Amino acid sequence: MPYKPLSDRVIIQQQDAEETTKFGIVLPDAAQEKPQTGKVVAVGPGRTTDDGKNVPIAVKEGDVVVFAKYGGTTVKDAGQEYLIIKESDILAIRS
Nearest residue (CB) to a copy of itself, 33 versus 61? 33
| 12 in contact with a copy of itself (CB under 8 A) | no
Residue 33, amino acid: E
Is residue 19 involved in binding a copy of itself (CB under 8 A)?
no
- Determine if 38 is a binding residue for a copy of itself (CB under 8 A): no
Supply the DSSP symbol for 30. B
Residue 51: exposed, middle, or buried by beta-carbon count in 10 A (0-12, 13-18, 19+)? exposed
Of positions 17, 27, 31, 62, contacts a copy of itself by CB under 8 A: 27
Site for a copy of itself in 44-63 (CB under 8 A): 44-45, 48-53, 55, 58-59
Q: Which residues of 57-81 are buried (b: 16+ CB within 10 A; e: fewer)?
A: bebeeebbbbbbbeebeeeeeeeee
Q: Per rule CB under 8 A, is residue 29 in the interface with a copy of itself?
A: yes
What phi and psi, each to the nearest 5 degrees, are found at residue 10? -135, 140
Binding site for a copy of itself (CB under 8 A): 2-7, 9, 11, 23-29, 33, 35, 42, 44-45, 48-53, 55, 58-59, 66, 68, 71-78, 81, 83-84, 87-88, 90-95
